[in-house]
Structure 1
């Protein structure tokens, strides 16, 4: 399955308050193997073969842009980022190419996300008719592949719920891809999470 007509969306708008509260500063800008976390995510996604990669910024707009300098991704700012993930999704979906057949949504604090699953996720999403997401040890993870039929619903989202409610509402049209790769679940919320990610990255 080719990703050449699908978009990738990286959500990087949150303030990371939990990470900062636990003794860290901006988690997306934290060092991971010699580069900021958000750059590691973007580099990985850019290597997957999507038609476009769009990054949505918010709280740390200027430094995140700086961290992505030189990468072939398009960066858009969500002015209402403080509302929660819905604002980031709305901004990102509205910015996608009009010819996009669907989008894989990535989180900016998940540097170990296995992009090799994307082709299978896209294929399953198209077959199911709405979306597909990976699942590890029974827990749903990222990235989430959403067909164009979901775009209208994504543009109507509000608050900090993300797309989870939509996936539940359309459960009969959502497929899952079981995987043993814990990278679909590993996000960075605390300095301890960053240490775990760094160890996994080095390995």
Structure 2
């Protein structure tokens, strides 16, 4: 199967203020790498070259954290209004950089068990099935990381406030193919969740 990675873009949403956690989740470290740096590395290792990291809170520290990676940083001054503004910022910056983008992969920065294998499976499913939405499936939900064909960019750009990519996924289930991602349930929302992730990650042999 031929995959044209030059036509696949990716957006990492890393703009939040981590209010529930109490400190910036983007900058938490596992094995000497911040979560946002790990996300960048994982995506770039798949072969994707067009990667946008959307920042908001803690912008300067995040930029330092990922300065060694070939990514474009897009600051979202409206990050406090919700995730929708960061998705819009990411897609618009991606389109400015490369008008030949066929699809966009939307990722969060706080899923430390995301790996290149899963991302490649998402992309393979996109080319194999021809479906416009490929979603990760975990916790009985279709969610991100998710790949969206360019035909859905307008819908993503119309999201508002706290709405995220999951709204588009749920709205048109007939357009969606799922790729299992059991470890997607682990994200960093609370100090307790972070402690659990650290234990699991450091004991993980994968």
TM-score (norm 1): 0.89
- Counterpart of 1:171 in structure 2 is 173
- Distance change >3 Å, CA 3–CA 10, structure 1 → 2: farther
Equivalent residues of 2:144, 2:165 under 8 A apart = no
In 1, distance between residues paired with 2:167 and 2:141? 15
Alignment match of 2:88 (pick from 73, 85, 90): 90
1:17 paired to 2:19: yes
Mean alpha-carbon deviation: is it higher for 115-124 or for 51-60?
115-124
Matches within 5 A, 1:41-190: 41-96=39-94, 97-125=98-126, 127-179=129-181, 181-182=182-183, 184-190=184-190
How far residue 3 of structure 1 moved from its aligned partner, in angstroms, is: 5.3
| CA displacement, residues 12-48 of structure 1 (integer Å, 9 cap, x when unaligned) | 001000000xxxx211112222122211221111111
Equivalent residues of 2:143, 2:169 under 8 A apart = no
TM-score (norm 2): 0.88
How far residue 105 of structure 1 moved from its aligned partner, in angstroms, is: 0.8
SS of residue matched to 1:135: strand
| CA displacement, residues 59-93 of structure 1 (integer Å, 9 cap, x when unaligned) | 11111111111111111001111110100000000
How far residue 154 of structure 1 moved from its aligned partner, in angstroms, is: 0.9
Equivalent residues of 2:125, 2:134 under 8 A apart = yes
Contiguous gaps of at least 5 residues in structure 1: none
Equivalent residues of 1:112, 1:197 under 8 A apart = no
In 2, distance between residues paired with 1:187 and 1:46? 21
1:192 paired to 2:205: no
SS of residue matched to 1:59: coil
Equivalent residues of 2:11, 2:105 under 8 A apart = yes
How far residue 167 of structure 1 moved from its aligned partner, in angstroms, is: 1.4
How far residue 141 of structure 1 moved from its aligned partner, in angstroms, is: 3.7
Runs ≥4 residues deviating over 6 A: none
How far residue 163 of structure 1 moved from its aligned partner, in angstroms, is: 1.6
How far residue 94 of structure 1 moved from its aligned partner, in angstroms, is: 0.3
Mean alpha-carbon deviation: is it higher for 77-86 or for 106-115?
106-115
* Alpha-carbon RMSD: 1.7
| CA displacement, residues 148-191 of structure 1 (integer Å, 9 cap, x when unaligned) | 11111111111111022211222111111234x31x22111112
In 2, distance between residues paired with 1:14 and 1:33? 23
